[in-house]
Every structure is written in C-alpha cells, then in structure tokens.
Amino acid sequence: MKTSTRERVIQVFAHQRVLDGVHGFGAFKGILVCLTETKLDHKRREVVEICVPKQWVLYQRFIASLHRFYYFDIPARYAELATGNPPMPIQAFAKFFEELNELAGNR
C-alpha cells in the first residue's frame, strides 16, 4: 500500500497556479489535506515515510504559493518546512476547524 504525494503533489501547485493566473493572486486559497506520507517496503516488511521537502519548497517558491497544508499525521520532515524559507504552514488537520472562518472569509 502506498499513500504519498510524491508523484502527485505537483498537480496541487499547478492547479493553484492556473487559478492565480485566471483570477489573480489571492483570489483563491490553495489548501492541501493529506492523511500521511507512507509506503510499505516489501523487502523489509515495514512502513516508511516518503517525503520530498526540497521539491515542495521549489514548488511553493516558483510555481504557486499554497495557503495551508493539513495532515492527519504530519511527517517530521514536512513539519520542519513551517520554519523554512519560504515558510510553509503545515499543520495538524484538527487546526482546520479552528481556522475555518478565516479560510472562508478573507478571499
């Protein structure tokens, strides 16, 4: 079983870039919600995290800026991006409900 965004996350940034191009920057807030970043190593029969933080930073910096990243189980390597350059707001999914009014209000 595999649950990672490694090959697919570019789609989220690309869709945000299209929205920014059509409607202007800030008209829509891009939000990514994920469960986890794991895969099963069939040789060792263990679950391992699959993370590509440097790739995410390049996408955030040069393709489109997403407003929030929410995880049910935040990988440590992605949690570190919250204090990186550019800072990427990666938070526990429970925080979504605290921010719901802010997210929906200030388009």
Rg of the chain (C-alpha set): 15
76, 99 Cβ separation under 8 angstroms: no
Q: Say which DSSP state 81 is in.
A: G
Residues 7 and 107: their CA atoms lie apart, in Å, by: 29
Confirm if 29 and 15 have CB atoms less than 8 A apart. Answer: no
pLDDT at 47: 87
Min mean pLDDT across 8-17, 37-46, 91-100 is at 37-46
Provide the percentage of residues in the chain whose pLDDT is more than 70. Answer: 94
**Domains in the chain: how many in total?**
1
ω into 89 cis (within 30 of 0): no
- pLDDT-based confidence at 29, cuts 50/70/90? very high
Instruction: For residue 6, give its domain range.
Output: 2-105
pLDDT tens digit sequence for 43-61: 999 988 889 999 999 999 9
Residue 3 has pLDDT above 70, yes or no: no
Amino acid (one-letter) located at 10: I
- 4: pLDDT strictly greater than 90: no
- Closest Cα to residue 39, out of 13, 65, 68, 75? 75
**Pair 46, 11: CB distance under 8 Å:** no
Look at 103 and 67; give whichever has higher pLDDT.
67
Structure-block tokens of residue 107: 């388009």
Is the pLDDT assigned to residue 35 strictly greater than 70? Answer: yes
